[in-house]
Structure formats: structure tokens, C-alpha cells
Amino acid sequence: MTEELSLLAPDDWHLHFRDGQMLQQTVPATARCFQRAVVMPNLVPPVTTGAMAQAYRARILAARPEGSTFEPLMTLFLTNQTTPDDIVQAKAMGVVAAKLYPAGATTNSSAAVQSVAALQPVFETMQAQGMLLLVHGEVTQAHIDIFDREKAFIDTHLTQIVDRNPGLKVVLEHITTSDAVDFVLQASDRVAATVTPQHLLLNRNDLLVGGIRPHNFCLPVLKRNTHQRALQAAVASGTAKIFLGTDSAPHEKAKKENACGCAGCYSAWSAIELYAQVFEDLGALDKLEAFASHSGADFYGLPRNRHSIRLVKDSWQVPDDIALSNGESLVPFFAGQAVRWRLA
């Protein structure tokens, strides 16, 4: 039985730090084990220019623990006002990717894209500049069932984006369905995906059975167990096209435990440990390092990290809540539950 794991330092290819005082909590939580992270731009106001991305990056770096070498990778928030020049300028300022949110798809996305087709000149410029496109793959039309919105986005929009821009690198983020798995695995090597710990560990029973569980509510919403098993089978196969992206998304406890609770699971404090638990349960611990440390860096065209982290088999309990400096608290993902692996 494996009692210890050594992994090349992993990266998180999709997370939310938020801003302001929240950074004092979220940045150290990620920097404890991840060397790099792709930082989502859906702030208020959203990060729509290279200059805004640079300023946000400086705030993140100011919140790093002393001595940390953690590196945030910055992204641009696409709107229908985004121009090709915005892409060129942002790329020159170090922005690695642009994020496509359909308007209203998730937290702080009301200003996002109303017409995907109208962004074709932007996609062409991204392709020429070598900037990645990151996609929240859900439609938002009210008549489409929330459990069907990922498949509808793939069928309606993503296939066209990929077909019209064959040189554009596209990441379909936080995939939740067998449809997404099939699309990514059958697409060219310019298309990849991330998957979260919650979508590997849970299904919609864990959200709805026995009462609504707001801290398991995220977008895209948890799906039925057949889709969960498809995600598990994909990562267990060792494919390089699906890699680690936590979508760690903090909200204050009062905003989650609310009549209209916020979407997001704050997994940063237990993410790498929970991925290890999933891969162990799948009999695929030998695939974890590539998933966490190799495939994302290779797809982004970045060097793999050079140092390692160590995980040991030592059960511990995720805290029930985490205090914030403003007197509020966060409830972490898997709160109060035991995790078998611990970061040494």
C-alpha cells in the first residue's frame, strides 16, 4: 500500500482569488502547494485590459507568504466590447489567456459575452498572438434545463469556435458531463479541459438529497452519477487532454447560506489532497503527477516546475470554517470531513 507520494510541484489551471482582504486568505491557501495558478478575471469591475491584469497581479503578489515563489498567471475577461487591439496589448503585458463567460453564467458575469459569434475577430487575433481561450461552457437561455446547458453550449458554440479557429488553443473549463469528455477527447490536440475535485467526488445527490447543501453548490452544477463516472474514467485513463483546475471559488458563509446562495466551492485548502484521494480510489495514483504537474504546463507551452512536493497517508479533518480578517468566515469544501492524504 502506498504511504507516501512525491509529485513534481503541481499547478492550478483555474481558480478564483477574489480581491481586497480576501486575498490574505486565498493566496496563501493556493501557494502552500501550487507553484502557479491561472487566475480568473471576474472581479467587480471585471479585468478587461492588460493594465487591469497587471494591477491585479501586483495585489496577488503582495498577498504571497514571505519567501513564496508562487506565480499567478493572469487572464482577460472577454466582453462584446473587447477588440483585437485589447488582445495584442494584454498579450504584450503578460496576460496568458482570455476567458469567455456567457453573460450571466456564473458569479460576476453579467457584463460578459452576449454574442459569441461576434467575437470571431478577437478569436482570430488570439490565435495569431498565441493567447489561449478559456471557456465557461454553458448556455444561459432560461428555457434550457440547467443540467443540459454544458452540452447545449458545446453543440451550439464550442464546435463552431474550434472549427473556425483550428490554431487557437481552447480549454473547456470545469467539465461536468460525458458529453464534454467525449468532445475534448475527440477534438484536436489544440483542445483540452480542466476538471474540479467536486465534480470528481460528488454528483447531484450530494447537492439535493437530504436537503439542499449550499456549500456543494457550484456552476456548472453537479450532474448525475453517470457523468461523474465518465469524468473519473477520463482522468484514470491518463489522458493528457484533461488536467487539474480546482475552480476554487470562495464566498463568505453568509453569502452561501442564503435564500439565493452564491455558486462556488472553496477547495484550495484541501485540493491536492482530495485529488490524491480520488486517484487512489480509482486505482490510478500513478496518473496523478501527469494530471497535476505535467499536462497543464505542456498544453500552455510553459516549462514544468522543477521542485517537488510530498504527500503522506495521514488522515486529517477539513475545518468547519475559516476566519476572515473582516470578522466573517468561509466554509471550505469538504468541511468537517476526513481526508486521507496530507501535504507534508
Please give the domain boundaries of the chain with CATH numbers for all domains.
10-303 (3.20.20.140)
User: Is the overall model pTM greater than 0.95, yes or no?
Assistant: yes
Options 247, 298, 320, 321, the catalytic residue: 247
Tell me, what's the pLDDT at 234? 98
Sign of CA dihedral 320, 29, 311, 39: positive
Cα–Cα–Cα angle for 335, 109, 21, rounded to 5 degrees: 50
pLDDT in tens, the chain (344 residues): 789 999 999 999 999 999 999 999 999 999 999 999 999 999 999 999 999 999 999 999 999 999 999 999 999 999 999 999 999 999 999 999 999 998 877 777 777 788 999 999 999 999 999 999 999 999 999 999 999 999 999 999 999 999 999 999 999 999 999 999 999 999 999 999 999 999 999 999 999 999 999 999 999 999 999 999 999 999 999 999 999 999 999 999 999 999 999 999 999 999 999 999 999 999 999 999 999 999 999 999 999 999 999 999 999 999 999 999 999 999 999 999 999 999 99
Tell me, what's the pLDDT at 103? 84
Is 247 one of the annotated active-site residues of the chain?
yes
Cβ contact 337:303 at 8 Å = no
Indicate the annotated binding residues.
14, 16-18, 42, 99, 136, 174, 219, 247, 251, 263
Q: Does 303 sit behind a cis peptide bond, omega within 30 degrees of 0 on the bond before it?
A: no
| 3-class secondary structure, 42 | coil
**Strands (DSSP E) found in 9-48:** 12-15, 36-39
Tell me, what's the pLDDT at 1? 75
Indicate the annotated binding residues for substrate.
16-18, 42, 136, 219, 251, 263
Eight-class DSSP state of 286? G
How far, in Å, CA of 126 to CA of 136, rounded? 17
Tell me, what's the pLDDT at 107? 78
Indicate the annotated binding residues for Zn(2+).
14, 16, 99, 136, 174, 247
Cβ contact 78:122 at 8 Å = yes
